Every structure is written in structure tokens, then in C-alpha cells.
Structure 1
């Protein structure tokens, strides 16, 4: 049995409903979300992100959540910022999530993966894409998020050409990116 599994998967493997609930009641299983379980002896992992990854395979950490993963922000977000392709249904999850719908044509630009445990990964936008998104969505996130992330990224040795190359996929943000880089460089 995998570390994290659904009720349906356990039933398909021949585990009875009664046995599954007994394991849960004995503490051998943790409830990750509705119908989603994790073995108690599994390696530590972020249960919120596990639930999101299992419910929405295309889910990708973005904006503040991605910037924190890249050490480009000290913010402690109250919810996970997660992007899905526009038109895709967002699942109901217990985890605190702010869903963002991104254009399917540019959804995979800068998309990498973050390993949550031995079996599960979730999408994560790379640092340049996360910075571009912070500038692109500055009306929602505030301009300081993108400016601070860009400042930190440049101080850590990030190359301006990488940001501009990612920015070419989002032409409306290029002028703001260039202006911010002129001030910082």
C-alpha cells in the first residue's frame, strides 16, 4: 500500500471498509482529506500539499507560495497559492487554498516539480516565472511582492536575461520588469 492513498484505491486493493476505519481509529492512518489517507509511519510531509496534489494533478504552486519555496519572500501565506489551467475544475479540499486560473497556452512556462514524499510531486513555478507572475498580478498581490522577490533574486546571482526571457511569454509585464530592473541594477 502506498504512503498516501484514497478510499477507492484501498478498496480496490481488497481492504474492507471496516478494516480501513479500524486502522484510522487505531492511529495507523492519518486522514489527509475526505477519502484520502496517509500511513502514520510514512515519512513527514506537508499534508495540505499532499491533498492538493492528489486532488488536482495539474496543481502548481505559484505567487507567494512559490516565492517562499525559492527563498524570495519571507511572507507566511495564510493560504497556498495554487494555479490550474483555466477551464479546469478546482477540487474541493480541506487545505486552505487560493486557486488561480492561468492561461493553458502559458501554464507550463517555467513549471517544475517539488517532491513532497517518495511517491508524490506537486508542480512548482521556477523563480523567474514566479517573479514574472508577481509583477503580472501586482494589482492582486501588491507591487512590493514582485519588487522584493526580484531584488533578492538579483542579489543571489540571478541573471536579468532569465527574467526577461520568461517575460517574453507575458508581453504586458515586460515594461514593468525592465523598469524595476533598471532601478535595481
Structure 2
């Protein structure tokens, strides 16, 4: 029996360190799938989605769903309303995680946290990315100026009011300079769309 006890200890250690672990990571650490499913049955681990586990008493951060999705789709970048919420620029609580992936990338299958996929060109996907750690998981997320510009670019998907709110908050909280936002908007082809709002919001500021 000592073998399985050790495997459970290893699994607990990996999960305590990483917050969320894939089955593959647990297997690499020497824990069999059978042990993981026994631990799940005994309530020692929680299955978040297919092949994704965490400890039942793990501290759930407000951005837990972002960590879960980042584990499932490590190449993707958190964007739009999810990025606005992460940066504290909207009161909206997105019902799903907005994810940017490349034009040719595989879209992840629905499982666990609901996600909305937005396809970006390579140049726009690889720009303005920040890495933050949530529950021990590194997540890629667009910075404030880029997120605001993207919200105007995808205003038909998320609503113009959400984009304007993001812009207002970014300026009010001084999280991004008007010039930075304008540059990102130009790169994303929405410079002319965003400029009147930028002028209006900075004129009376």
C-alpha cells in the first residue's frame, strides 16, 4: 500500500505547488491515472475539466476561471471583456472567458469553464501581452491599452458600451495614456473609431 500513499502525497504536493495541474503533469511526477481517479472518488482532488485537477481546499482566486483556461489552452491569450475584468476596468462579470487564438490554431473543445474564441492575426495576437500568475498558473493576457483597442475592434461582439466603459476606466484610473491607446487602436485598424471618444474623454478630463 505504501506505493499508492506516496503517489497521493506526490499528487498533493504537485497540486499545492501549481494550484491546477493537468493529468499529464501528475503522470510525469509519477502519479498514475488510476490513483488520480481514486483520489477524485475519495474527494481528495477535484476534477475541473477533462484531465484538469486541483485540491478541494485550494484558495479560489477571483480569476480562477482564467487560470483553469490558461492550463487548458496555454497558447491562447485572455482578451476583451475577460481582460477588462482582470484589469479592473469593467463591472461586468463575463459568463465565459474570452480567448484570443491565431487564425490557424485549433479551437479548444468546450469543457469546464465556458469560453468564447476570437481569432486574431499573428501580428495582433503577439503584441501587448503581459504574463500574470493566478493560483500558481502563468496566464497570458493583453495589457490595458491593447485590451481597450481590441474592445473597440470587436465592439459588435461585446457591445460598444462595454468598450467605452473600458476606455473611460483606463483613462480615469490612469492605467494607460491616451497616446498608448491611440497607437494600439491604429495598429488594430480602429484609430478613427476610437479617436472621437478619446478626444471627448480627455478634453473634459
Tell me the TM-score normalised to structure 2 length: 0.81
In structure 2, runs of 5+ residues without a counterpart are 1-9
- Per the alignment, residue 28 of structure 1 pairs with 44
- Say whether residues 1:149 and 2:166 are aligned partners: yes
Q: Give me the whole-angstrom Cα distance separating, in 2, the residues matched to 1:88 and 1:134.
A: 21
Q: Could you tell me whether the CA contact under 8 Å between 1:32 and 1:48 is conserved in 2?
A: no
Q: Which has the higher helix share?
A: 2
Moved over 6 A (4+): none
1:6-85 paired onto structure 2 within 5 Å: 6-45=22-61, 46-85=63-102
Q: Per-residue deviation at 1:105?
A: 1.6
- Say whether residues 1:140 and 2:154 are aligned partners: no
Closer/same/farther in 2, CA of residues 48 and 72 from structure 1, 3 Å limit = closer
Q: Give me the whole-angstrom Cα distance separating, in 2, the residues matched to 1:126 and 1:176.
A: 20
Q: Give me the whole-angstrom Cα distance separating, in 2, the residues matched to 1:43 and 1:76.
A: 19
Tell me the TM-score normalised to structure 1 length: 0.89
Q: Per-residue deviation at 1:53?
A: 1.3
- Say whether residues 1:165 and 2:148 are aligned partners: no
- Per the alignment, residue 174 of structure 1 pairs with 191
- Say whether residues 1:106 and 2:104 are aligned partners: no
Q: Per-residue deviation at 1:132?
A: 0.2
- Cα RMSD after superposing both structures: 1.9
